[in-house]
Structure 1
Amino acid sequence: MLVRFEMFKKWLLALCVGGLALNACAASEAAAPGSEDVVRKAVLSVEPTATIDSIKPAQLPGFYQVITSGLMLYVSADGKYVMNGDLLDLTAKKNLSEAGWAAFRKAELAKVPESARIVFGPANPRYRVTVFTDVNCGYCRALHEHVAAFTKAGIALEYVAWPRDGVTDPAGRNTQVYNEMVSVWCATDRKSAFTAAKEGKAPKSATCANPVKDQYELGLKLGVTGTPTIIAEDGTMLGGYVTPEQMLELLSKNKAGG
């Protein structure tokens, strides 16, 4: 089961008491130094239920980059230290953490087929963006109001489900918004049901094999914390609500590498 980002932050903050430089704090030693197994065991020794999605050598010598529970950490190869924060290359003036996140998001989103998304856009778009969305959030509705303008600008909006209230409530019952999003994804005409829901019309109740829960958990894994969350084709997170003009500017700048 995926550990929520907030839960993971709690133990990280509990460890990092004392305000050490770069948020460095000791973790436990395990196995032979310098291996991915050491790093994995160090993280799991603190949070045994953590889902570790990626471990790879960091561009910071002697450290590994770890993505777990929607959080990126840097763990020393001997398993003794963990750092929480952005890694910046001062020479290249580049955020290496964001570059790492982008590569991870791109790879994970590539696993989501178009058939599992609800897509609005031109036949041959200049740009495609993934939008983690909730049918009830105000900014999500405002974004969808401009779908014709996004299409005219050559931008395809590829929606995936992210019910903000989660899949279940504290009593273990499905949340209302989760049920509504399942009904949308299970509708005979998903695009019409989606647009109607964005206009405040409750979808006709329906159930089927659907990707809503998986997409919600994928969002947590990718660091999504609210809706809408917009991600470019290269995995760069562009932010939340933007107008078509702002989106086009962001995508053009992103494509140019700046």
Structure 2
Amino acid sequence: MSFAFPFRLTLTGALMAGALMAQSAQADDTDVPKDLTDRLVVNGQSMPVRAVEPSPVQGLYEVQLESGQTLYSDAEGKYLLVGDLYRNDDGQMVNLTEQKQQQHRVELLKQVDDEDVVVFRPAGEVKAVINVFTDTTCPYCRKFHEEVPELNKHGIEVRYLAFPRSGMNGEGARELSQVWCSDNRSEAMTRAKQGKKLKGTASCDTPIASQFALGKQMAIQGTPALILPDGRMIPGYVPVERLVGMLGLEN
């Protein structure tokens, strides 16, 4: 079930509301209220909650949804903050929500077996590994793939995961299944992204559906979606030079 909020608080509003809630909180926040998840009902719908944890702000709890979205709630589920939580460290704004999401992405990707991804490795030393959720029918995915050889020259390994943009019944899912069912997946991936027809079947067991679900859990909405080694997510196409800089590989 999908779940979306009809509003989004601004950063200033979120910080002010969080401060007010912190001042009014009286209870010990080391444990999450047992019935908080049951109280998280909006417009008659129970939220698809994946986890609830105490936040760094007293009286405020971090609610992680199955969709990958994070929000914050008081102990009764009466007040909700939709947006990122920041900490002011000596005038430097630190996005605590994004930090947590980065850690979560790294842990999720550790659960993906190497045999379930399509890998393009450098001929020499591997200096960095990026995971890319892709769709063979996506124009910007095709543009990104054209530059994979250049990324390999910089020592960057590219690991492809499947994310059919139009869902499991679309053309992207069918093509991705053909890629994963091919004897040579990397060659099939290149052919598909060149717009060439693939030979063979798309009826073998593939991880397409599970990787599509994984992408949704990371709040991926489009392709390509790049996950850097530290868990940062970069939505959309990024030129080689900029990506190399993000990975600290200029030299």
Where in structure 1 are there 5+ consecutive unaligned residues? 25-32, 168-173, 254-258
Deviations 1:159-214 (A, max 9, x none): 100000011xxxxxx22221111111111111111110000012223221110011
Q: Which residue of 2 aligns with 1:111?
A: 111
Question: Which residue, out of 35, 54, 59, partners 2:56?
Answer: 59
What letter matches 1:239 in structure 2? P
Paired with 2:216 and 2:195, the residues of 1 have a C-alpha distance of 26
Paired with 2:139 and 2:186, the residues of 1 have a C-alpha distance of 19
Decide whether the 8 Å contact of 2:120 with 2:157 is kept in 1.
yes
Structure 1 position 223 matched with structure 2 position 224: no
Decide whether the 8 Å contact of 2:127 with 2:156 is kept in 1.
yes
Shift of 1:54: 2.6
Q: Which residue of 2 aligns with 1:207?
A: 203
Paired with 2:206 and 2:97, the residues of 1 have a C-alpha distance of 33
Q: Which residue of 2 aligns with 1:28?
A: none
Instruction: Name the % identity.
Output: 33
Decide whether the 8 Å contact of 2:14 with 2:85 is kept in 1.
no
Give matches, 1:1-258, under 5 Å: 3-4=1-2, 8-9=3-4, 12-13=5-6, 21-22=13-14, 35-44=32-41, 46-48=44-46, 50-68=47-65, 69-91=67-89, 92-122=92-122, 124-167=125-168, 174-204=169-199, 205-252=201-248
Deviates further, 68-77 or 34-43:
34-43
Shift of 1:136: 1.0
Deviations 1:8-48 (A, max 9, x none): 11xx327x89xxx4397xxxxxxxx9635333112257533
Structure 2 residue matching 1:132: 3-state secondary structure: strand
Paired with 1:212 and 1:148, the residues of 2 have a C-alpha distance of 24
Paired with 1:55 and 1:213, the residues of 2 have a C-alpha distance of 26
Structure 1 residue matching 2:57: 3-state secondary structure: coil
Paired with 1:115 and 1:64, the residues of 2 have a C-alpha distance of 38
Decide whether the 8 Å contact of 2:226 with 2:236 is kept in 1.
yes
Number of residue-to-residue matches in the alignment: 228
Structure 1 residue matching 2:219: 3-state secondary structure: coil
Structure 2 residue matching 1:59: 3-state secondary structure: coil
Shift of 1:113: 1.2
C-alpha RMSD of the superposition: 2.4
Structure 2 residue matching 1:90: 3-state secondary structure: strand
Paired with 1:52 and 1:141, the residues of 2 have a C-alpha distance of 35
Paired with 2:51 and 2:128, the residues of 1 have a C-alpha distance of 27
Where in structure 2 are there 5+ consecutive unaligned residues? 18-28
Decide whether the 8 Å contact of 2:32 with 2:52 is kept in 1.
no
